[in-house]
Amino acid sequence: QVQLVQSGAEVKKPGASVKVSCKASGYTFTRHYIHWVRQAPGQGLEWMGIMNPSGGSPNYAQKFQGRVRMTGDTSTTTVYMELSSLRSEDTAVYYCARENSSGWTRFDPWGQGTLVTVSS
């Protein structure tokens, strides 16, 4: 079955970077874009960006421009989201999700989420 499995929880200090992985299986990796979404504790969902695992420039939310980098490795069917210059407000669960349409809003399935805690 189609599945996205994310890497484990991370604890980082302010100013550091974090790299979260998302391994895809059960479908042709290069045929579907991948979104990254985060959710701060007790808060709503926040879209971070979308990337094409086949290559090309990702599309990032303006809020994260210059601080986020989304990449993919077709040999391991894994995508990565790296967020730099971490601050306490970046403490959140980070999700990857597969896109299923040309309209960029059909997120299915989602990864299980990766908790990133930023604390000194």
Partner 1 sequence: QSALTQPASVSGSPGQSITISCTGTSSDVGNYNYVSWYQQHPDKAPKLIIYDVSYRPSGVSNRFSGSKSGNTASLTISGLQAEDEADYYCNSYTSSSVVIFGGGTKLTVL
At 37, list the tokens: 């979404």
CB of 100 to partner 1, least distance (A): 8
69: burial class by Cβ within 10 Å (0-12, 13-18, 19+)? middle
Residue 89 vs 120, nearer CB to partner 1: 89
Residues at the site binding partner 1, with contacts judged by CB under 8 A: 35, 37, 44-47, 50, 59, 61-62, 95, 97, 100-101, 103-113
| CA atoms within 13 Å, Cβ hemisphere of 37 | 23
Residue 80 vs 95, nearer CB to partner 1: 95
What sign for the dihedral angle of Cα 109, 68, 66, 44?
positive
Residue 12 vs 113, nearer CB to partner 1: 113
CB of 11 to partner 1, least distance (A): 19
At 91, list the tokens: 């403490």
